[in-house]
Structures are given as C-alpha cells and as structure tokens.
Structure 1
Amino acid sequence: MWKERFKATGFYDFDYTLLRWQFDPLTRLDRAERWVDVPVKLGEERHIVRVQGLGTTAEPAFEVSGESVKDKDALVTHVQELFQWGVNLENIHQHFMDTNVKQLFQDHPGTPIVKDFHLYDCLMKVIIHQQLNMKFAYTLSTRFVHTFGSTKDGVWFYPDPEETAALKYEDLRALQFSQRKAEYVIDTSRMIAEGRLDLAGLSGQSDEEVKKQLVKIRGIGPWTAENWLLFGLGRQDLFPKADIGIQNAWKVYFDMDKKPSYEQMETHSAGWHPYRSYASLTLWRSIEG
C-alpha cells in the first residue's frame, strides 16, 4: 500500500468532478468522503487507485493511494494525466473575464477537464450514448460493462477491444442496443483490435486531424469525435455545438426564447478560443444543478 499527496496549480473544483461522475453508475465514489476509485489497466493487470480530495476549491489538495508499490510511478502518472492538476485554471478563468460568459465563470469557478479513465472506454461510452437521453444512455453503458466487462473489489472495468470484437451483434441487441448501435460498437472495436484504428496514435494529432480520421468510421459523427477529443484526450478547445445540453444552457444563460443556431453559437463563442472546452463544461455545469 502506498499514499502520496498532490496539489493542483491554482483553484480546482474536485467536488464538481465527483458530482458529474455520480451520474455514471459504473463509477465507485463517495461525495461526502470526497473520493473516487479509478480503474487503471496496465497491460493485463487491473489496478484501483483511490483519489481523495483534501483541500478546497481555492486551495486544492489530493491524496492518491494504491496497492501495487512496483507500479506506483505508472499509476501516479496515469492519474495525473486524467485529473490534469498541472493546468492553471486561474489563468483560463481570467481569459473568460473579458468575454460574454464572464458571469458564467464567476458563478462556477475552477471547473476542470477531467478525462475518462481510458481512451477505449471513452470511445465506447460516447458511441453508446450518442442520440440518447442521459438516463437511458447510462443504462445501456452500465449493461454493457456489467455483462462483458470485469470487476475488482467493487470497481468496474470496461471490456478490452478484443473482448468486444469477439461479440455478436445479437449479444448487444439482447441488452436493448439498436441494431445500428450494436454494429457501431462491435465494428469499431474490431478495427481497434485488428490495429486499423490506433487510439493512442490519434492522441498525438491535431483536433482537426483526429476528427477527420474518426468521422470516416461508420457510427462516429462530429458530436462523438468532439466528445472523445474532450473527455478522452482532454483537449482544451472543443465546442460541441450539436450537444443538446450545451444548446439548452446557452438558451438559459443568454436568455433566449429558443435554442441558438449554429451560426449564433459560432459567432458568439469567437472570443472563447483557445479554451472553448472549459466554456462547454461550464455551460453543462450551469444546468446540472
């Protein structure tokens, strides 16, 4: 067993991250005790790393703990990449003080980009969730992992691409997947398992190049590609204009009678570059309660 403490650069709202993760039944956490158990795959090995908030939004601190001493460095590196404690959110906050969403950021300071646990898991989740309401989306992804994934000490792990690739479409249809969604999940997993789609390799390319490559894949459109860039790779300048939640939050914040057009959103977000992802997250947050 090992433990180590870390501090974030500037302010950081860890409690909002726990609130957002609470929507996913697969995530093991305790908001009152302020911890989350992170499933980490290192090759064939499965690890659980607990991240606990110790400080406040203004003075954030964290305790990270795990079982494997020999893998400690790799586990710490993985967790640091997920939570991005080295990003100075105060500088980003100041950027938005000169924009039309100044009040939004004043109301919700320190909203971080926290990445999903693994690139493949994130891609499967956004494919499963696309064009579904949030409740049923999480129902489907939970069924998928409970049926084909694995668990260790109460923490769930997504199946590997090779495991999903070996499934039949009927296996997912039995979980209430549509035929098309079953095909998207399994066919994409086969591409990854066969080496025709390299998610780690994509992580080194530009946002536009990643989107260009992903939308060539049947079942992956701009919304899915942008959400994978945001939550899989943690990219800072994504603005999924097609997202219903962002459109609803925009309507409320800008006091509009109807949802904005893409043209309105593009025009009025011009000053948000190069941090549009933070505006997207903060817009989502503003209507999540």
Structure 2
Amino acid sequence: METLKIAGPYNFDLVLDRLSLDPLNAVNKDKRAVKVPMLIEREPIVADVTARGTVDEPEFHISGFEDHHKAQAIARLSAIFQWNTALMQVHEHFLETQLNDLFVTHYGTPLVLDFDPYSCLLKCIVHQQLNLSFAHTLTERMVKTFGFEKDGVWFYPQPERLAALETEDLRALQFSGRKAEYVIGIAREIVEGRLDLSEIEKLPDDEIMAKLIKLRGVGPWTVQNFLLFGLGRPNHFPTADIGIQNALKILFGLDRKPTLEEMEDYKIGWEPYLSYASLYLWRSIE
C-alpha cells in the first residue's frame, strides 16, 4: 500500500458524490473509497483509492497493483484525480469573482477525470442528446455486454471488441442506429490506426477540436466534454451546454437562459480556470 499526501484543499467526499452518479463506478462513500480500472501495458489493473485525511490535509491510501506497475499507476491516478493541481490558487482566484459563493459552498472540489480518455470519448458519444439517466443506462448496457469485469469493477469494451460489432448488436441494447454506427466507427478508427488518443492528448485544445470534429458523430459538445473530463484541460467553458446555461440563469436571476454574448462577458474574469467555473456551475444544480 502507498500513502500519498497532497496540498489542500481537496474534498474527496464531493469527488465520490460526483463519481457515484455513474452506476459503473465502484464507489463506497462510507469507506471514502473508489476502485479505479486501468490498463497498464495492456494489463487490467484495479487500483483501490481510499481517503484518510481531511479537506485541508488530504491523504490517500492506494493499493491494488504490483510494484512494477506502481509508478505508472500512481501517475495515472494523479492525473485522474488531479492531485497535482493547486486548488487553493484556483479557489482564491474565484473569491474575487461573481462565483465566489459557489467556490465557498463547494470548497476544494477538483476537476476529476473519467478513468481514461478512450472510455470518456465513448461515453460522450453515447450521452449526447440524451437525458442523464438513460445515457447512464445505455452506457452500462454496452459495458456489461461487451466489456469485462475484474475484482468487481467493469472495464469498457476495448476498441477491437467494438470494432468487430455490427450496428444491430448495439441496437439490441436500445441504441439508435446512428449512435450504434458512431460508437463502432470510433472503435474502427482506433483499430485501423487513424485515431491515436495518446497523440491527441499532446495537442492544444483547438487542434484537438479540429481533428475530432471530423469524426462521424462527434460534434462540438462531445469534444468540449472530452477536453474537460477526458484530458482535464483547465481553461474550457462549453457555452452550448444546457446545464451551464441553466446554472447561470439561476445564479444571476435571469428570466431566460443567458445569451452567448452574456456568457462570453461572464467568463472574462474566470480565466485561466474556466473548466473550474464550468464544474462549480454544474455542481450548483446537481
């Protein structure tokens, strides 16, 4: 077991609240723990992450992997849970903005990523234009039908598995024909070497948008969410997101959703941490 101490604030209980919204995540709020599926050198690893510290003095116990996987596992977990981000700096920045009350209420909430960029991209495609409950249901059906389980934790179906499917295989799970084509199409892009997510990660936001938007079934909303929750880009604000629009409407007491021009004005003082503004606005209406 490894013990990791990081600089506060960091509210792991709020992290678990958000992770528990997805039925595929193995969260235990009572034990303040989550099991994280990872592929390290193509080997499935299930890491156990348990919080032992406080919001201001966070400490984590990490286990579930062999010594030869330790460095890669901890590096990946640090990226997923954003343990190296100076949240106090973010917090103090927003205390001087119109979002100060939100940042006090949700003190120490980090921008936690999906467990890997590939599963994030798949989830974004499945979730687009669906209500959250049914989106989770569809994703869970796909994963439990074509993915695999280890130590009580589910792994997303690998690209080779999805690429071999026909649309009717996903239609049987209540996917629409088009959504089935999109998911299978993404997998085939990866298997056939036209899409390399490890290379995509190295690019700036605008280049990622330009590359991914060319893929069938991938629109701006999908790429924006991928940038936020797949790659953890810190300065991203998806103005087309209905949740953010609704949160702003409530926050500023508007009688209708804010216009794009208003949203552009609001966000000026929130840079360079727009992703945290997005996260805390979502938190305010969850």
Please classify the TM superposition score into its range, dividing by the shorter chain length.
Answer: over 0.9
CA contact (8 A) 2:7 2:57 kept: no
Amino acid at match of 1:154: G
Task: Name the aligned partner's letter for residue 10 of structure 1.
Answer: G
Equivalent residue letter for 2:71: D
Match of 1:182 in 2: 180
- d(CA) in 2 for partners of 1:250, 1:91: 23
CA distance in 2, matches of 1:5, 1:147: 35
Structure 1 counterpart of 2:199: 201
CA deviation after TM superposition for structure 1 residue 252, in Å:
1.1
Amino acid at match of 1:242: A
> Partners in 1 of 2:168 and 2:83 — Cα distance?
42
The separation in 1 between residues aligned to 2:194 and 2:68, in whole angstroms, is 33
- 2: distance between equivalents of 1:76 and 1:105? 28
Q: CA deviation at 1:159?
A: 0.9
- 1:210 corresponds to: 208
Moved over 6 A (4+): none
Q: Report the more deviating stretch, 171-180 or 254-263.
A: 254-263
Q: Does 1:166 align with 2:164?
A: yes
1:99 matched to 2:93: no
Distance 2:65 2:201 in 1: 29
Write the distance in 1 (CA, Å) between the matches of 2:41 and 2:142.
21
Whether the 8 Å CA contact 1:7–1:85 is kept in 2: the answer is no
Distance 2:7 2:234 in 1: 16
Does structure 1 residue 122 correspond to structure 2 residue 120? yes
Which residue number corresponds to residue 139 of structure 1? 137
Counterpart secondary structure, 1:269: helix
Residue deviations 1:237-270 (CA, integer Å, cap 9, x gap): 1111111211111111111111112221111111
Q: Is the 8 A contact 2:49 2:60 kept in 1?
A: yes
Matches within 5 A, 1:144-163: 144-163=142-161
Indicate the residue corresponding to 1:12 in structure 2. Answer: 10
TM-score in terms of structure 1 length: 0.96
Residue 220 of structure 1 pairs with residue 214 of structure 2: no
Counterpart residue type for residue 179 of structure 2: K
Q: Following TM superposition, by how much is the alpha carbon of 1:70 offset from its aligned partner in structure 2, in angstroms?
A: 2.5
Name the SS of the counterpart of 1:49 in structure 2. strand
Corresponding position: 1:233 with 2:258: no
Q: Does 1:260 align with 2:258?
A: yes
Residue of structure 2 in register with 1:74 after alignment:
72
Q: 1:64, CA displacement in angstroms? A: 0.7
Q: Deviations over 1:4-42 (max 9, x none)?
A: 111222201111111111111111110111000000111
Q: Which amino acid aligns with 1:249?
A: A
Gaps of at least 5 residues in structure 2 are none
Distance 1:12 1:71 in 2: 26
RMSD of equivalent CA atoms = 1.0
1:273 maps to what in 2? Answer: 271
Residue correspondence of structure 1 range 44-83 to structure 2 within 5 A: 44-83=42-81
- CA distance in structure 2 between the aligned counterparts of 1:39 and 1:171, rounded to whole angstroms: 25
- Deviation of residue 129 (structure 1)? 0.3
Q: Show the counterpart of 1:87.
A: 85
1:36 alignment counterpart: 34
Query: 1:25 corresponds to which residue?
Result: 23
User: How far off is 1:279 after superposition?
Assistant: 0.6
* Conserved? CA contact 1:66–1:72, under 8 Å: no
Provide the rounded CA distance (Å) in 2 between the counterparts of 1:247 and 1:39.
33
Q: What is the TM-score with the length of structure 2 in the denominator?
A: 0.97
Q: Deviations over 1:160-196 (max 9, x none)?
A: 1111111100111111011111111011110011110
Give the Cα–Cα distance (whole angstroms) in 2 for the partners of residues 277 and 157 of structure 1.
27
Aligned residues: 286
SS in 2 for 1:79: helix
- What whole-Å deviation, never above 9, does each CA across 1:129-161 have from its counterpart, x for those lacking one? 011100000000000000000001110000111
